[in-house]
Structure 1
Amino acid sequence: MSACRAPRRLATCRRATVLATGAAVAALSLSACGSGGTSGGSADTKFVQGKGGVDTVPKGDRQDAPQLSGKTLEDKPLDVADYKGKIVVLNVWGSWCAPCRAEAPNLAKVAKDTKAKGVQFIGINTRDSNRAPALRFEKAFKVDYPSLYDPIGKLMLRFPKGSLNPQAIPSTIVLDRNGKIAARALTPLSEDSVRKMLNPLIAEK
């Protein structure tokens, strides 16, 4: 009889099964449409936990964002590094995610309002098995900015340990003008919350 059949070992087997599925699948399945954790790793993480689920990093302690590139939902190449010099808002979302639908109009509105101030929004669409539902989502909520298509969550796993990494769907990460990770939210955002994340970075010199 295998170990997985013993009732008293059921919890252990379940943990082993989760580990065996691989880091990418486990990370996405456990965090989908959830609020996630508080940090990405080590005890020397230097971010500041703020109110409303928004964490920030002092300017001198920020880490470089990972290399994030691929094809968009429209099958066009996109590299986040090309937007260095702008403030970049990265929103991890899925068309199947109710909190993503709730925040989408807020993100779309702020994206339009802040474009002239040097802010670029970029989505990271994940766990949509094909592009069609995601494209319908963008049309329904008038999302004009591009989204990288990342169906199995590879881009989410590129963020460095101890950084403000995405741990939930939705997650929103803000990069400063130097391409460094400056702020993160692991909850759906109101229009006001997005502006509060961005205003200090827009004001930075």
Structure 2
Amino acid sequence: MGRSRTVSAVGFAAMVVVSAAALSACDGGGSAGKGSRTEFVAGADGVSTVPKGERRLPNELRGDTLQGKHLDVADLKGKIVVINVWGSTCPPCRAEAPLFSKVARETRAKGVAFVGIDTRDASRTAGLAFEANHGVTYPSLYDPVGKLVLYGFPRGSLNPQAIPSTIVLDREGKIAARALQPLSGERLHKMIDPLIGEK
């Protein structure tokens, strides 16, 4: 029994290391191409998109926010959901945060919801300071060991691979677009606006 627990602990620790390595770059770099199950198109602007009929649901994306409230992204079905993966020590994350807050305000009435995933901070204090300093008013799930990032997206889907990463879900809750680099407000609109117009 003790050995089994030790093996499980070692296995979990290994997964955390893999997750941290996957998100080690703070420059948003990453490659796009064809997933094992989902065909997606990588645009010249660094945004990858999935045709409507080939989109997939994410796995569970739920937990406690930095403020300690429970949040389940699945409950936002019916809205377009912009998921931004960030960490408070990441300079590109700090640069894009005020722009994301602005676009969140601009698109709220059009049925767009924003959710952050703070996946780098060892305590909530740094994440809360980040939100306050950059005017972030939408909730962020607190994911210090990268569990949501590692398990929240199916293999072969448009999953986050660095910070900052941005994933957009359509109104059916399916993964529609991804960027693995910092975004301007204009480029963020280019990810969201086509989904707002979808029927």
Q: Normalising by structure 2, report the TM-score.
A: 0.88
Residues 55 and 183 of structure 1 are in contact (CA less than 8 Å); yes or no, is this contact kept in structure 2?
A: yes
Instruction: Quote how far apart the aligned CAs of 1:40 are.
Output: 8.6
Between structure 1 and structure 2, the one with the greater Rg is 1
Residues 183 and 197 of structure 1 are in contact (CA less than 8 Å); yes or no, is this contact kept in structure 2?
A: yes
Residues 38 and 54 of structure 2 are in contact (CA less than 8 Å); yes or no, is this contact kept in structure 1?
A: no
CA distance in 2, matches of 1:162, 1:149: 24
Q: 1:23 aligns with which of 15, 18, 23?
A: 15
Report the equivalent of 1:101. Answer: 94
CA distance in 1, matches of 2:36, 2:181: 23
- Sequence identity, in percent? 60
Report the equivalent of 1:52. Answer: 45
CA distance in 2, matches of 1:20, 1:123: 24
Report the equivalent of 1:176. Answer: 170
Aligned pairs for 1:4-153 (under 5 A) are 22-32=14-24, 33-39=26-32, 42-153=35-146
- Deviations 1:142-166, CA, capped at 9 Å, x for gaps: 0000000000000011211110000
Report the equivalent of 2:5. Answer: none
Instruction: Quote how far apart the aligned CAs of 1:27 are.
Output: 3.0
Which 4+ runs in 1 deviate beyond 3 A?
Answer: 39-45
For structure 1, the 5+ residue unaligned runs are: 1-18
Q: Normalising by structure 1, report the TM-score.
A: 0.86
Instruction: Quote how far apart the aligned CAs of 1:65 are.
Output: 1.4
Report the equivalent of 1:15. Answer: none
Residues 63 and 163 of structure 1 are in contact (CA less than 8 Å); yes or no, is this contact kept in structure 2?
A: yes
CA distance in 1, matches of 2:71, 2:22: 28
- Provide the secondary structure at the position in 2 that maps to 1:172: strand
- Provide the secondary structure at the position in 1 that maps to 2:178: strand
- Provide the secondary structure at the position in 2 that maps to 1:91: strand
What letter corresponds to residue 24 of structure 1 in structure 2? V
CA RMSD of aligned residues (A): 1.9
Count of matched residue pairs: 187
Report the equivalent of 1:7. Answer: none
- Provide the secondary structure at the position in 1 that maps to 2:31: coil
Report the equivalent of 1:190. Answer: 184
- Provide the secondary structure at the position in 2 that maps to 1:179: coil
